[in-house]
């Protein structure tokens, strides 16, 4: 048991859920990782093992993959998180998909369970309103890749209690994270700015102003960014960028958030970035 939390439920074994589960296990927490299929969960375990093997080679700590994986149980049933003291939801940036998950969590989790919404754009108050206990719902925007990013945005909803925030802050500290307090505004701080940059960079490619390689080279070479905006899009997931832009556009009804058509076409074509092997750039393996 670490920092007042025993088993942590992690819902969603995509890029973010995998990172959250690995991060928790690295710091000694027991994890139940839930997704819809055994193949997805098997791929998640393989990905975590790969990340552990690569850690030292990439300048990070040496990690024992077997030890970390021994702390991560997997299941295709949401019921397995019913006894977790904290549940971290990481499903795709789609309000209706999140709603279905949170309706079920409201049914199976005791009132004292802290439910963390890992989202880059969706208002936390909107998610909290799904259940009977909005006071126990709080937002945390983890950055990708989760195990190596030291800072997160911590977003209380309108009804989130001070106790929920305290317990969440304690958990984040136990994961090696520093929490930056942000009010519950769609997109928060990071994605109100980042998504506009990525979307405009996509428009430059869409309009033929520059190639993706040239756009990223300008940001790396002229501004000293370690990654260009379209490399960042590939890392986050082109589909995730699109969903985030759609949420911002719907929420603010402001044309500056209108998603670039190229993002829609790439998402439909399965060009989702690193996780699919091709996005704005192509990736081996």
182 is in an annotated binding site: no
14 is in an annotated binding site: yes
| DSSP, residue by residue, 160-207 | --HHHHHHHHHHHHHTT-EEEE--S-TTTTHHHHHHHHHHHHHHHHHT
183 is in an annotated binding site: no
17 is in an annotated binding site: yes
Q: Which of 262, 228, 231 is nearest to 245 (CA)?
A: 262
The residues assigned a catalytic role are 120, 141, 153, 191
- What is the C-alpha to C-alpha distance for residues 45 and 72, in angstroms, rounded to an integer? 9
Around 58, how many Cα atoms within 13 Å sit in the side-chain half-sphere?
A: 11
- What is the C-alpha to C-alpha distance for residues 275 and 184, in angstroms, rounded to an integer? 29
16 is in an annotated binding site: yes
Q: Are 238 and 266 in contact (CB under 8 A)?
A: yes
13 is in an annotated binding site: yes
- What is the C-alpha to C-alpha distance for residues 74 and 86, in angstroms, rounded to an integer? 16
12 is in an annotated binding site: yes
Q: Are 191 and 39 in contact (CB under 8 A)?
A: no
244 is in an annotated binding site: no
Binding-site residue ranges: 12-17, 35, 93, 98, 120, 144, 275
Binding-site residue ranges for NAD(+): 12-17, 35, 93, 98, 120, 144, 275
């Amino acid at each position: 048991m670490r920092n007042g939390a025993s088993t942590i439920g992690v819902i969603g074994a995509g890029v973010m859920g995998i990172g959250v589960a690995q991060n928790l296990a690295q710091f000694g927490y027991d994890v139940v990782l839930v997704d819809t299929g055994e193949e997805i969960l098997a791929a998640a375990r393989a990905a975590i093992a790969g990340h552990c093997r690569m850690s030292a080679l990439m300048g990070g700590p040496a990690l024992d993959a077997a030890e970390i994986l021994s702390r991560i149980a997997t299941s295709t049933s949401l019921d397995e998180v019913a006894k977790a003291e904290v549940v971290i939801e990481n499903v795709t940036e789609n309000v209706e998909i999140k709603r279905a998950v949170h309706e079920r969590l409201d049914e199976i989790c005791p009132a004292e369970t802290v439910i963390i919404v890992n989202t880059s754009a969706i208002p936390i108050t909107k998610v909290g309103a799904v259940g009977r206990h909005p006071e126990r719902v709080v937002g945390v925007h983890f950055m990708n890749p989760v195990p190596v990013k030291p800072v997160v945005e911590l977003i209380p909803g309108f009804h989130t209690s001070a106790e929920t925030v305290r317990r969440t802050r304690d958990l984040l500290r136990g994961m090696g994270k520093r929490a930056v307090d942000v009010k519950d505004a769609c997109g928060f701080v990071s994605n109100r700015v980042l998504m506009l940059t990525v979307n405009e960079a996509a428009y430059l490619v869409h309009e033929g102003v520059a190639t993706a390689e040239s756009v990223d080279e300008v940001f790396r070479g002229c501004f000293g960014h370690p990654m260009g905006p379209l490399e960042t899009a590939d890392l986050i997931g082109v589909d995730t960028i699109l969903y985030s832009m759609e949420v911002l556009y719907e929420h603010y009804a402001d044309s500056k958030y209108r998603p670039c058509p190229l993002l829609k076409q790439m998402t439909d074509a399965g060009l989702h970035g690193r996780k699919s092997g091709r996005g704005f750039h192509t990736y081996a393996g």
